[in-house]
């Protein structure tokens, strides 16, 4: 059970969002919506424990995540709006360290996002969409219980969106939780909707 | 905790692929050291007197070169978030980065210090203390540099701020390190300087990773 209670964040003397609350049972999904700058990415950072909220609590099974950030980190599959792909390393080498940390098999992860044929190509040769898929494959490594995805559909073509939708459905069927920020598309059928600021 | 050695392996893999960073630091050290005989003149006595200082300042400045990218690259491309979510406490991320910096910069500098010192006519009895002093000295520089580069993360003009922050902290390293290798130094004085150099390293060993960790957390906010 992953729950947020009246989260508020102030940035540069401006109230970014306030009183955000939700509660997600295993298998549930939450779609963050909002215009640019509404605080979707910041909220994801708060939920990951990377940033402290100015008000409110985030709890995993009724324990505040800030009590043990390392333990909370071990639950997260993370995709930020940056791809964090090292261009000098091959696709496979980019996943070596994450695979050691998160567990999981690199080949399976690459296959899941349709990158098996590109695994030994330097990442600088990959297109923007392929890099995004590699970053998604990394977030899925080890099938951690909580996936926090910032704009997962960015730059993906239709076949990749199908792959991603299938992976998200499989994750939820296993009891995993997904929270995704997006302003386009709907990769999460049946997800709860959280509107951060009126559009 | 089990991400500690994989993180060092990742850093070394990246350093090998970006070999130019390490090479640039080594070439810088080589060129700076080679400039001194040209500026001062080739008399062996004058060079021998100045050699420890030249080697130490050269190594210090060369060690600074890769620092801006140490966390800067990960900060810009979003990989820092992944490091912070790796389950390692931020201070251990700092320690792993310091060890990687030493392995990819400090150790190569240490390796070419001996031929450079001989080129500057440093007497044989000063060469051993110079190299013994460089071992804890370069380790201390890696620790101080790691803390400094984590603290300036996200700051505007971080590249300018970094040397201003790190160089004053490195003053004891240079004083004790160059003091131990001074050709005019007595054997007792050498031992004392080397012990103080080692003591300063032991002082920095727990503090610098903690400072780096605090800087990383703040940058992640």
Model pLDDT for residues A43-79, shown as the tens digit of each residue: 999 999 999 999 999 999 999 999 999 999 999 999 9
Rounded distance, CA B90 to CA B81, Å?
11
Report the predicted TM-score, pTM, of the whole model to 2 decimal places: 0.92
Phi first, then psi: give them for residue A54, nearest 5 degrees. -75, -20
**pLDDT score for A1:** 87
Rounded distance, CA B140 to CA B198, Å?
9
The model's pLDDT over B87-110, given as tens digits with 9 standing for 90+, comes to 999 999 999 999 999 999 999 999
Rounded distance, CA B128 to CA B41, Å?
25
Collect all residues of chain B within an 8 Å Cβ-Cβ radius of residue A50: 81, 84-85, 220-221
DSSP state of B170: T
Q: Does any CB of chain B come closer than 8 Å to the CB of residue A12?
A: no
CB A113 within 8 A of CB A133: yes
Q: Looking at residues A97-108, what average pLDDT do you find?
A: 92
CB pair distance less than 8 Å for A97 and B7: yes
Phi first, then psi: give them for residue B39, nearest 5 degrees. -80, -40
Rounded distance, CA B70 to CA A152, Å?
28
Q: Does any CB of chain A come closer than 8 Å to the CB of residue B192?
A: no
CA distances from B76 to A117, A184, B220 (A): 28, 25, 11
Say whether pLDDT at A198 is over 70: no
- A-proximal residues of B, 63-82, CB under 8 Å: 74, 77-79, 81-82
In the block, tokens 């780096």 appear at: B212
Say whether pLDDT at A18 is over 60: yes
Q: Any alpha helices (H) in B120-153, and if so which ranges?
A: 124-151
| Contact residues for A64 (Cβ-Cβ < 8 A; gap 6+) | A57, A58
| Contact residues for B149 (Cβ-Cβ < 8 A; gap 6+) | B67, B68, B70, B71, B72, B158, B162, B212
CB pair distance less than 8 Å for A101 and B89: no
Say whether pLDDT at B191 is over 70: yes
**pLDDT score for B1:** 53
Q: Does any CB of chain B come closer than 8 Å to the CB of residue A84?
A: yes
Of A15, A14, A68, nearest to A6 (Cα)?
A: A15
The model's pLDDT over A127-162, given as tens digits with 9 standing for 90+, comes to 999 999 999 999 999 999 999 999 999 889 999 999
Find the closest chain A residue to B79 by CA distance: A84
CB pair distance less than 8 Å for B84 and A98: no
In the block, tokens 């549930």 appear at: A28
Rounded distance, CA B116 to CA B133, Å?
15
Burial of B57 (0-12, 13-18, 19+ CB in 10 A): middle
DSSP state of A2: E
How many beta-carbon pairs under 8 angstroms link A with B? 72
């Amino acid at each position: 059970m992953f729950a947020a209670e009246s989260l508020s964040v102030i940035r540069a003397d401006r109230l970014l969002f306030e009183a955000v609350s939700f509660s997600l049972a295993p298998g549930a999904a939450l779609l963050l919506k909002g215009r640019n700058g509404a605080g979707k990415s910041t909220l994801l950072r708060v939920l990951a424990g990377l940033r402290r909220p100015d008000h409110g609590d985030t709890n995993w099974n009724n324990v505040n995540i800030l009590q043990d950030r390392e333990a909370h980190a071990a639950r997260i599959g993370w995709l930020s709006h940056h791809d964090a792909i090292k261009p000098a390393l091959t696709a496979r080498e980019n996943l070596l360290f994450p695979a050691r940390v998160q567990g999981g098999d690199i080949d399976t992860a690459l296959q899941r996002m349709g990158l098996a044929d590109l695994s030994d190509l330097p990442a600088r040769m990959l297109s923007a969409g392929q890099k995004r898929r590699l970053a998604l494959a990394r977030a899925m490594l080890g099938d951690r219980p909580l996936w926090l995805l910032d704009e997962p559909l960015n730059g993906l073509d239709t076949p990749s969106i199908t792959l991603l939708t299938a992976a998200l459905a499989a994750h939820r069927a296993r009891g995993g939780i997904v929270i995704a920020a997006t302003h386009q598309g709907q990769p999460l059928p049946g997800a709860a909707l959280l509107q951060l600021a009126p559009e | 905790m089990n991400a500690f050695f994989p993180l060092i392996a990742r850093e070394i893999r990246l350093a090998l692929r970006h070999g130019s960073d390490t090479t640039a630091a080594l070439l810088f050290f080589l060129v700076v050291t080679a400039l001194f005989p040209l500026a001062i003149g080739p008399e062996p006595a004058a060079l021998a007197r100045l050699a420890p200082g030249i080697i130490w300042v050269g190594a210090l400045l060369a060690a600074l070169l890769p620092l801006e990218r140490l966390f800067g690259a990960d900060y810009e491309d979003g990989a820092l978030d992944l490091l912070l979510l790796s389950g390692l406490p931020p201070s251990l991320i700092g320690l792993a980065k310091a060890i990687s910096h030493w392995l990819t910069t400090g150790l190569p500098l240490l390796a070419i210090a001996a031929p450079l010192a001989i080129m500057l006519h440093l007497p044989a009895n000063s060469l051993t203390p110079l190299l013994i002093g460089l071992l804890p000295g370069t380790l201390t520089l890696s620790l101080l540099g790691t803390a400094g580069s984590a603290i300036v993360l996200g700051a505007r003009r971080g590249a300018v701020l970094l040397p201003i922050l790190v160089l004053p902290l490195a003053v004891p390293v240079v004083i004790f390190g160059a003091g131990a290798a001074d050709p005019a130094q007595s054997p007792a004085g050498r031992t004392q300087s080397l012990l103080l150099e080692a003591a300063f390293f032991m002082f920095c060993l727990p503090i610098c990773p903690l400072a780096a960790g605090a800087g990383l957390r703040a940058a992640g906010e």
